[in-house]
Amino acid sequence: MCGIVGLLIRRPELRASLGELAVPMLDCMGDRGPDSAGLAVFAPQQDSTCLGFSLYWRGGVPDWDAVLEQHREAAGGDATLDANGDNGLLWSSSAPADVATWLNQEWPCINLLSVGHRIRLFKDEGHPRDIASRYGFESLSGTHLVGHTRMATESMVSPAHAHPFTAGQDFCLVHNGSLSNPNSVRRRLQRRGIAFETDNDTEAGCRYLEWRMREGDSLEEAIESSFGELDGFFTFLMATAEKMVLVRDAFACKPAVVAETDDYVAVGSEFRALAHLPGIAGAKVYEPSPQVIYSWPVVEAGAPQQTAVVS
């Protein structure tokens, strides 16, 4: 079944409450996906010379100090690491490919979850409520986030198979549904040299979209082209540093509800995930139409508000 949630803050003063508003959304959608969960949060850019690498330590007691020390020795002294249990965010000026190679060789117990200037990604096994509490999602601040609660149907339950999936930089995707041709999509992308970490159908969709964007498509154009390439049922919720984007397949068997106010845009699989949000009684609540791409821009502090761009 699975549940998806997304929240984009329009009033900058509310950014500090992003996590606090989102935790009940994830908790509620635990009914639709109790086996694992994840969340990608986007924060304003702090240091343009460094990239953030979200890391997940599989099993055992994390030794983030050792990881940071070794990275500084190998790559220079400017790196920092923000540890949060088995999740760590490494800030480094090294190239993403170099970091990935170093991790593969030196730290095979670490998964690289995301790369980007703004994204931090958490995902793990367990009930979404427990995962939110484990990492302290309530205290997260930022411009927007997307989250997922998983009820696995097509591939195993593991932290790596949980959503969000990422590819490239500052891009992530959560998915409610199932693709029926992920194997052929994966094989075609692999022939282009694109590496996969799991056999999960959503990873194939995520890497397909990111490949299209590297080929020059906008995210919206990539989604348009996916209508002819990705077969199956989906409500996709995506985020980049600049926007949050939602689309449902032509049959729209997988639900989604949107609530918009002057303060935020909220997306959930069901309305009850949004019912606690402030001002919800006056919100514009609607069900997104099939195969319509909804795109909400991130509101920079002080910038005028923009409404959804529908294509």
Partner 1 sequence: MSDTVSFDLAQVSVRELNRYFHSELPGSEVTRISVQNPNGRHSIGVGLDCPVEVEIHGHAGYFIAGMNKQAKVTVHGNVGWSVGENMMSGEVRVNGHASESAGASAHGGLLAIDGDASSRCGISLKGGNLVVAGDVGHFSAFMAQAGTMVVCGNAGANLGDSLYEAVVYVGGAIDSLGADAREEPMEATDVEAVRGLLAEAGFEGDAGSFRRVASARSLYHWNAEAHQEY
Alpha helices in 84-200 (DSSP H): 96-106, 128-135, 182-191
Is the bond into 164 cis (omega within 30 degrees of 0)?
A: yes
Pick between residue 76 and residue 290 the one whose CB is nearest to partner 1.
Answer: 290
Give the Cα separation of 150 and 128 in Å (integer).
9
Report the length, in residues, of the chain.
311
Under rule CB under 8 A, residue 271 binds partner 1: yes
Pick between residue 209 and residue 265 the one whose CB is nearest to partner 1.
Answer: 265
Under rule CB under 8 A, residue 65 binds partner 1: no
User: Pick from 50, 109, 151, 285: which binds partner 1 (CB under 8 A)?
Assistant: 285
Residue 169: both structure tokens together:
């930089």
Q: Closest approach of Cβ 276 to partner 1, in Å?
A: 8
Q: Closest approach of Cβ 173 to partner 1, in Å?
A: 23
Pick between residue 78 and residue 287 the one whose CB is nearest to partner 1.
Answer: 287
Q: Closest approach of Cβ 94 to partner 1, in Å?
A: 46
Note if 172 is an active site residue. no
Give the Cα separation of 114 and 204 in Å (integer).
16
Under rule CB under 8 A, residue 227 binds partner 1: no
Under rule CB under 8 A, residue 274 binds partner 1: yes
Residue 257: both structure tokens together:
């509800």
User: Pick from 14, 50, 160, 252: which binds partner 1 (CB under 8 A)?
Assistant: 252
SS3 for 98?
helix
Phi, psi of 261 (to 5 degrees): -130, 180
User: Pick from 11, 127, 188, 272: which binds partner 1 (CB under 8 A)?
Assistant: 272
Q: Are 111 and 54 in contact (CB under 8 A)?
A: no
User: Pick from 290, 292, 300, 301: which binds partner 1 (CB under 8 A)?
Assistant: 290
Produce one character per residue of 26-42: b if its CB has 16 or more CB atoms within 10 Å, e if not.
bbbbbbbbbbbbbbbbb
Q: Closest approach of Cβ 254 to partner 1, in Å?
A: 10
Q: Give the interface with partner 1 as residue ranges (CB under 8 A).
A: 251-252, 255, 257, 270-276, 281, 285-287, 289-290
| Residues classed as catalytic | 2
